[in-house]
Amino acid sequence: MRKVLLLCTALLAFSCGNEQPDLIVRTSIKGLKKGTVYLKKVKDTSLITIDSVVINGNSMFELKSDLESPEVFYLYLDKNDGKNDRITFFADKGVTEINTTLKNFVFDAKIKGSEQQKVLEDYQLLMSRINHRNLDLIKESFDAQKNGDSSAFIDYEKKQNNIIKSKYLQTVNFAINNSDSEVAPYLALTEIYNAKINFLDTINKSLTPKVKASKYGKELDAFIKEIKAKENK
């Protein structure tokens, strides 16, 4: 009996020791020789470190985390120069691969993993077009100020307000069109959290049951209820 108990204990310890984490982030940073890389996420409004690795010659490594539902993580690089660069990515259970370079840590990042990451990248592409329009508008305003054209500056303010409205409306439409992705409530909470409550409510009502039960789905629902409670006081 004692031998059986010892065998069961050994098997349990072995299985626990070989238990796979929910998320593995396989990373390669070309050109990195020394530094520390951190895997972080937001918990209760605070940014916390989930895992870290000290790099000393090997630029390929893995970081791990538990994961209840898809969510956003941050890969921070500390090059021991007082600067911290970070890559934002949307992870689901399984393996996420991040390949980048030391020289352009953020801009060279190629991320392969979750379906949510693909949706997030589609949104970022959409917003980049709006941001380019805004940069062109800022240049027009700067030129108008140099030339003393006050009417052009007034026109700039109107155009800028239209760009902001366009960003909000396109974000709402994007979230509704991707209501089966956890990216939808995430965008509502991070990009248009100060939008009219009916916009947020529309996104919330469009979410699939699976997304509603996710981390960001629950947070969006709680956020909307909090706003409505304040309005009804």
DSSP the chain: -HHHHHHHHHHHHHHHHTPPPSEEEEEEEET--EEEEEEEEEETTEEEEEEEEEEES--EEEEEE--SS-EEEEEEEE-SSS-EEEEEEEE-SEEEEEEEESTTTTTT-EEES-HHHHHHHHHHHHHHHHHHHHHHHHHHHHHHHHTT-HHHHHHHHHHHHHHHHHHHHHHHHHHHHTTTSTHHHHHHHHTSTTS-HHHHHHHHHHS-HHHHTSHHHHHHHHHHHHHHHHHT-
List, for residues 19-68, the tens digit of each pLDDT value.
Answer: 789 999 999 999 999 899 999 999 988 999 999 999 988 889 999 999 99
Domains of the chain, CATH where assigned: 2-112 (2.60.40.10), 117-231 (no CATH)
pLDDT at 14 over 70: no
pLDDT at 18 over 70: no
Considering the chain, what is the average pLDDT of its residues?
A: 88
pTM, to two decimals: 0.84
